[in-house]
Amino acid sequence: MPSKAIPWLKVLVHGLCLLPFMKLVMMYRAGTLVALADPVQFLTHFTGDWALWILLLDLAITPVRRLSPKLAWLIRLRRMVGLYSFFYATLHLLVYVFLFSGYDVPSAMDGLKAGHWGEPFHQLALVWPSMWDDVLKRRFIQVGLLAWVLLLALAVTSPQRVLRWMGGKRWQKLHRMVYVAAFAAVVHFWWLVKAGVREPWKVTAVLAVLLLARLLWWARQRRKKAAPVFRTA
């Protein structure tokens, strides 16, 4: 891929990753979002699904790139794709905090309109005990939170200058946590569905293939390192 094409490719990837978000905006403007039987449920599932699928896409970039040296340019898209997964995961968290948990959005808005800047925080303080209770009682929330915190750490440390500041090795070690984040997100999905529901199997199968590819690569690298080097005189 000629390097002149990379900026265009990045624009294309931005456009594709923003499509789900645009769909939400359009549904909201057309009134079809609020007309749904359970808009909050829809938003929670929609943002959770996209956060996870984009995360898996991000994980797929490295093994696909390794298939051929001609695909080396793919690595230049990885940071961007990873940040989009974090973007949807954060929307998912915001939907949980402000819509799913019983936060009184109309009262917060009315307060702001009346010039009471503290009202949104007051409303947050009212739902905080039940949210905290959720975190303590529901293991699927705990593991989801773990996945989000890991994605946050990866997003914050993703700029080149942070990489230089941390040093390549330390940065790489931290960024391997992306596998733990994906694993936690898949566990989150299994733990929230009702017993007998097999819906998360697709993401589980994709993650298993990606982890296997990583393992095979690692084993190959180890074998290469261990192999004796024959020199010709």
Q: How many CB atoms lie within 10 A of CB 204?
A: 15
Q: Tell me which residues in 48-77 interact with ligand HEM (CB under 6 A).
A: 48-49, 51-52, 55
The Cα 155–Cα 149 span in angstroms is 10
Q: Using an 8 Å Cβ cutoff, are 177 and 150 in contact?
A: yes
Dig out the tokens for 198 from the structure.
């097999």
Q: Does 192 bind ligand HEM (CB under 6 A)?
A: yes
Q: Tell me which residues in 96-155 interact with ligand HEM (CB under 6 A).
A: 96, 100, 141, 144-145, 147-148, 151
Q: How far is the CB of 97 from ligand HEM (least distance, A)?
A: 8
Residue closer to ligand HEM by CB (options 62, 204) is 204
Count of residues of this chain found to bind ligand HEM when the rule CB under 6 A is applied: 22
What is the helix (H) or strand (E) element at residue 7, kind and residue range? helix 6-30
Residue closer to ligand HEM by CB (options 119, 185) is 185
108's CB contacts (< 8 A; 6+ apart) are 119, 120, 123
CA 86 to chain centre: 4
Q: How far is the CB of 221 from ligand HEM (least distance, A)?
A: 28
Q: How far is the CB of 40 from ligand HEM (least distance, A)?
A: 9
Q: How far is the CB of 35 from ligand HEM (least distance, A)?
A: 20
What is the helix (H) or strand (E) element at residue 56, kind and residue range? helix 39-65
Q: Using an 8 Å Cβ cutoff, are 114 and 138 in contact?
A: no
Phi/psi of residue 156, nearest 5 degrees: -65, -35
Q: Does 44 bind ligand HEM (CB under 6 A)?
A: yes
Interface residues toward ligand HEM, by CB under 6 A? 44-45, 48-49, 51-52, 55, 89, 92-93, 96, 100, 141, 144-145, 147-148, 151, 185, 188-189, 192
